[in-house]
Amino acid sequence: MDKRNVIVTGAGRGIGRAICVEFAKEGANIVINYSRDAEGAEITKNLCEELGVKAITVAADVAKYNEAEKLFAACEEAFGMPHILVNNAGITKDNLLMRMSEEDFDKVIEVNLKGSFNCTKLAVSSMSKKRYGRIINIASVVGLSGNIGQANYAASKAGLIGLTKSVAKELARRNVTVNAIAPGFIETDMTLNLPDEVKSAMLSSIPANRFGQAEDVAKAAVFLAGEAADYITGQVISVDGGMHM
């Protein structure tokens, strides 16, 4: 990964931060995107720099194409265009379908799916020209199995899997691989405030009998970007302790 440029969206905390740190351990230049949490992004930057790599933070709402453009322009100016893109930014707005507002459906699709489309579109031209690119989309177990109260989120993540496979087919000849990771229940701010009964129901559905850590997902991302995965494209790798088989 030495001298590779990596953009990680939504990297001010949680899984995105862990992905930045794992890529920093490999010597990559790190572009840390966030939308609101500048302080969190700065902490991620410090963690990367302590590992001896260069890192920048860039504020951009990836759901907006013009802001995603600013993210790529900042990467280009600091390091050159990215070799690796991790579409990690994501939100939830859970509710039963009967109670789900149109706004909450649209917002989740805009960030999780459209945001990944925006960044992928901005990444592929230079990757195609360079005949090298690694795109990793952070989907979810819920995109594979559905979940009560998450029609918007599950649809966004299932859509992301469709996006992954389509772009993988389009770009495989140019040595650009596109894969998805489907995390199960990972202990981050996203899952912190779920009620205890939901957490214990989740735990009982995990054969490994433990919740995942952000590092479990980050290590899979580094694997998919590394030489060992050169011939892997269009795949969905579950990182879920066996939750979905």
Q: Give catalytic residues, as residue numbers.
A: 153
Rounded CA-CA distance 85/171 in Å is 14
Which of 26, 29, 40, 39 minimizes the C-alpha distance to 7? 29
Give CA–CA dist 72/56, Å, rounded. 12
Do the beta carbons of residue 232 and residue 179 sit within 8 Å?
yes
In 95-146, which ranges are continuous DSSP H helix? 102-109, 115-130, 141-145
Complex with ligand NAP: residue 133 or 183, whichever CB lies closer: 183
Report the residue number, 37 or 94, with the smaller CB distance to ligand NAP.
Answer: 37
The 10 Å Cβ neighbour count of residue 97 is 11
Q: Which is nearer to ligand NAP, 82 or 183 (CB)?
A: 183
Q: How far apart are CA 242 and CA 245, in angstroms?
A: 6
The encoded tokens of residue 136 equal: 């990793």
Positions that interact with ligand NAP (CB under 6 A): 9-10, 12-16, 33-37, 61-63, 88-91, 111, 115, 138, 140, 183, 185-186, 188-191
Nearer to ligand NAP, 24 or 89 (CB): 89
Question: CB of residue 175 vs ligand NAP: minimum separation in angstroms?
Answer: 26
State in angstroms the smallest separation of the CB of 103 from ligand NAP: 15
Least separation, in Å, of the C-beta of 71 and ligand NAP? Answer: 9
User: At its nearest, how many Å lie between ligand NAP and the CB of residue 55?
Assistant: 15
Q: Please, what sign has the CA dihedral across residues 42, 43, 47, 48?
A: negative
